[in-house]
Amino acid sequence: MSSTVTSVFTFKVESTFDEWAAIFDSKEATRRHREFNIQPLYRGCSDDDPQKIIVIHQHPEGNIEKFVEANGDWMASHRVDLSTMEKSAWTWTDNSNVQFKAA
Q: What is the pLDDT of residues 51-96, one digit of tens each?
A: 999 999 999 999 988 998 999 888 888 888 989 999 999 987 666 6
How many CA atoms does the CB half-sphere of 56 hold within 13 Å?
7
Domain boundaries, the chain: 4-90
97 has pLDDT over 80: no
Whether 3 shows a pLDDT value over 90: the answer reads: no
Q: Which CATH number is correct for 4-90, 3.40.50.300, 3.40.50.1700, 3.20.20.140, 3.30.70.100?
A: 3.30.70.100
Structure confidence at residue 2 (pLDDT):
64
Amino acid 102: pLDDT: 62
Please provide the average confidence, as pLDDT, over all residues in the chain.
Answer: 89
CA distance linking residue 29 with residue 58, whole number of Å: 15
- Beta-carbon contacts of 68 under 8 Å, excluding residues fewer than 6 positions away, are 75
Look at residue 13 in the predicted model and tell me its pLDDT.
95
Mean pLDDT of 90-103: 66
Compute the C-alpha angle 49/46/61, nearest 5°: 125
Say if residue 98's pLDDT is above 70: no
100 pLDDT exceeds 70? no
CA 48/CA 15 separation, integer angstroms = 16
Residue 82 is predicted with a pLDDT of 85
